[in-house]
Amino acid sequence: MSPDLIRLLLRVPARISCLLFLAAFAGQGLRSLWPTNWTAWMERSRPQFLLAFAGSHTVHLALVFTLAWTIPDAFRRQFPVFGLIGGGVVYVLIYVLAWAALVEVRSRRATPIPLPHLTAFQTTAMYLIWAVFALAFLGGSFRDPRTYAAFGIGVIAAMVVRLAGRRSTTVQPPAVAD
């Protein structure tokens, strides 16, 4: 496989992964803002979206390794060590979230795993992964808007929906006077 073909193929699972992640990321917010059967299904399907996201991003990772193996010198020049370390940390977060999702899917009683099932951990991991997608697609929008802008808009929209959904569930309606 040529490096150009690998780079082209890298984009496919990256975009699929983005869509799957955004569905998991924004599902609860969508349900809060628009309570329908479809948004309820999205919220309930969060573990499945996370598992599919991890699978799709594993394909992306395999293509990254293929590119590194195909053109090692150019790969090292293009991707600095700190970027690779940051990417590795994000992959660890993805796989820990997938592990927790797998436990939830396999056991509807959702036997918690201490760290991965902590709400604070999952929230932090989701926002960090969102930030990586935001950097990739919003940054790419400046280089090549035709290729990246739609996903950049989707990333921003998912954050707006998530935050608006959280706000709508925490704001209590005013009490009605007798």
Count of CA atoms in the C-beta half-sphere (13 A) of 168: 14
In a domain, 178, yes or no: no
Q: CA-based diameter of the chain, in Å?
A: 75
Instruction: State residue 53's pLDDT score.
Output: 98
Closest CA to 61 of 25, 91, 27: 91
CB contact set of 32 (below 8 Å; sequence gap of 6+): 164, 165, 166, 168, 169
pLDDT along the chain (178 residues), means of 10: 93 96 96 94 95 98 96 91 91 95 76 75 95 94 92 97 82 48
Instruction: State residue 161's pLDDT score.
Output: 96
Instruction: State residue 116's pLDDT score.
Output: 75
In a domain, 175, yes or no: no
Query: What is the rounded distance in angstroms from the CA atom of residue 55 to the CA atom of residue 122?
Result: 18
- B/e letters for 3-19, b = 16+ CB within 10 Å, e = fewer, are eeebeebbeebbbbbbe
In a domain, 177, yes or no: no
pTM for the whole structure? 0.87
- Domain tally for the chain? 1
In a domain, 176, yes or no: no
In a domain, 68, yes or no: yes
**Residue 44 structural domain:** 3-170
Instruction: State residue 106's pLDDT score.
Output: 79
